[in-house]
Amino acid sequence: MHAFDVLGDPVRRRILELLAPGEQASGEVSAVIREEFGISQPAVSQHLRVLRESGFTSVRAEGTRRLYAVESGPLREVDAWLERFRGFWEQRLDALGTELARGKRERRRREEASGDE
């Protein structure tokens, strides 16, 4: 499965967000996803399986628990692909930063001018 097919699903993106801080038990992930998306536990398990089989997550057994963690390899591949497009938004973000700074300077000048009156 192509990385963007995997990441195109909002449930799988949310699972990765939940796992980003560190390893979590499948039950913990499942509870959050069921609450937020209103899907069944088997449906959550299917999403976890897709993430595992596509290499986005790994799983290890600890007793009866299954602990999932993010695998960085596929995300690095996505990041490398996106790198060629960063110039499109970085230039715009730089311009936005300039405009925001200009607006702050103007507000300060107006406040200083009104304080002198």
Bridge partners (DSSP) of residue 48 are: none
Contact between residue 36 and residue 64 where contact means Cβ atoms under 8 Å apart = no
* pLDDT score of 17 more than 90: yes
pTM for this predicted structure: 0.73
H or E stretch covering 24? strand 24-25
Determine the average pLDDT of the residues in 98-105.
88
Contact in structure between 51 and 16 (CB atoms under 8 Å):
yes
What is the structure's pLDDT at 1? Answer: 54
**CA atoms within a 13 Å half-sphere pointing along the CA-CB vector of 30:** 16
Residue 15 has a pLDDT of 98
Q: How confident is the model at residue 116 (pLDDT cuts 50, 70, 90)?
A: low
pLDDT in tens, 39-92: 999 999 999 999 999 999 999 999 999 999 999 999 999 999 888 887 777 777
